[in-house]
Amino acid sequence: MKIIRRRGGKRLLYGSVIVVLVGIYGYWSYVRPLPPILPEAARSTITTSARPSKLAWPSVGQAAAGVVGNSTIVTHGAQTPVPTASTAKLITALTVLRAKPLAPGQPGPTITLGPSDMAIYNMYAAENGSRVLAVAGERISEYQMLEAMLLPSADNMADSLATWAFGSLGAYAKAAESYLAQHGLQHTYIGTDASGFKPDTTSTAHDLVQLGELTMQNPVLRQIVGESTASGIPVVNTIKNVNFLLGTDNIIGVKTGNTNQAGGVFIAAAQVAVGGKPATVVTALASAPTLFTALKYSLPLITSARSDFHSVSVAKTGETMGRYRLPWGGSVAAVVGQNLEFVAWDSQTAQANAKLKPASANSRRGAVVGHLTLPSSALSGRQSAPIKLQTSFAKPSPWWRLTHPFN
């Protein structure tokens, strides 16, 4: 009888242990944390294009237009390198300032003109080039030479400044070629002078827009090309800007050019407010019959370019970007939480990237599980819209929890 009692006690003990273990397992399976739910991205990118251009292209020469800080440049006409005339002086100014930088408001080093500078002046006088009177022994600052080179477009000051900065026009040419390569102006070629008077400095309207953008991004040059006059220049005192469109239709620069070989060339820049922020539009027209023609046809072009900004919808609220499939059955959509738009210029294309993250199994409706993001641009900056759960995650049943201990 004693043995029977012991065996029955063991059975009872084993049964009790099993009941306790089952209870513990049941409780654990019910309260244990569930692993994160991984997303399935339905759309990782959205590519959106703006409407086609409505620019007022000229009927002469070749043209191009762009916006400072924006990679889009649109062109019209064959983009074949042609003589740049005095717009080449922008290359000179940018290259010199890379070697001899100035901060806004600084006059820079004082340069003493000598016999070689007088020879340059006399050469351009004999060839009827544009020039500012200079005398041997004249002391002029770097900033004043830039003004004399860019406002009345003095050929002699361009060559003298380049020679002062680099020692010779040949050394300047190498430095200018390096500058152009650095900034991707692949169809611009440096000739034998720094003024553009000779026809061997050539470029395309596309590259001239890039050149204008670089100029307007330089605070010293942006200030100079926006001056209608400058005073205090040695010998001559006051000089005037030959860009007579300055101030018309918010035009704030950039440079004119005119030679027999080049015809008329004009790079223009105009300011515009886009979404409450300032933007600068740049246009270029090359190979016009005359400078007057270049200026005449550039005005409607830049006016149309200033008005060619518009808002483009990338995604609307509620648009599905992915799903979360629940291991216990069913799925929940991940949707755009608010409208996403970008400010486009011309036929600009933008690509928004969606990124979803794992979500807690307890996630509720409206939980942010990712973002749809546009790359930053000069027009809009970096923009994004949240991606949210369309509904709450359903709870797994007790039976599923009991039968899926490792999920």
With 90 as the cut, is the pLDDT of residue 79 above it? yes
Q: Are residues 303 and 317 in the same domain?
A: no
Identify which of 41, 31, 34 has the alpha carbon closest to the alpha carbon of residue 326: 34
The CATH number of residue 329's host domain is 2.60.410
Q: Give the chain's mean pLDDT.
A: 90
- Among the candidates 283, 307, 331, a domain finishes at 307
The whole domain housing 3 covers 1-32
- Among the candidates 286, 307, 328, a domain finishes at 307
Question: In this structure, what are the phi and psi dihedrals at residue 60, rounded to the nearest 5 degrees?
Answer: -130, 155
What's the structural domain count of the chain?
3
Q: Are residues 326 and 273 in the same domain?
A: no
Residue 54 inside a domain? The answer is no
The CATH number of residue 218's host domain is 3.40.710.10
Q: What's the rounded mean pLDDT across residues 5-33?
A: 63
Q: Are residues 384 and 243 in the same domain?
A: no
Bridge-based pairing of strands 368-374 and 383-389 is antiparallel
**What pTM does this model have?**
0.81
- Tell me which of 372 and 10 has the higher pLDDT: 372
**Other CB atoms closer than 10 Å to residue 376's CB: what's the count?**
11
What is the per-residue pLDDT across 255-307, written as a single tens digit (0 to 9) for each?
Answer: 999 999 999 999 999 999 887 788 999 999 999 999 999 999 999 999 999 88
CA atoms within 13 A on the CB side of 159: 26
Does residue 225 have a cis peptide bond before it, meaning omega lies within 30 degrees of 0? no
- Exposed / middle / buried, residue 199 (Cβ in 10 Å: 0-12, 13-18, 19+): middle
**Other CB atoms closer than 10 Å to residue 399's CB: what's the count?**
10
- Exposed / middle / buried, residue 249 (Cβ in 10 Å: 0-12, 13-18, 19+): middle
Residue 358 inside a domain? The answer is yes
Q: Are residues 218 and 326 in the same domain?
A: no
What is the per-residue pLDDT across 381-390, written as a single tens digit (0 to 9) for each?
Answer: 668 899 999 9
Give the whole-angstrom CA distance, residue 405 versus residue 168.
Answer: 82
With 70 as the cut, is the pLDDT of residue 369 above it? yes
Residue 267 inside a domain? The answer is yes
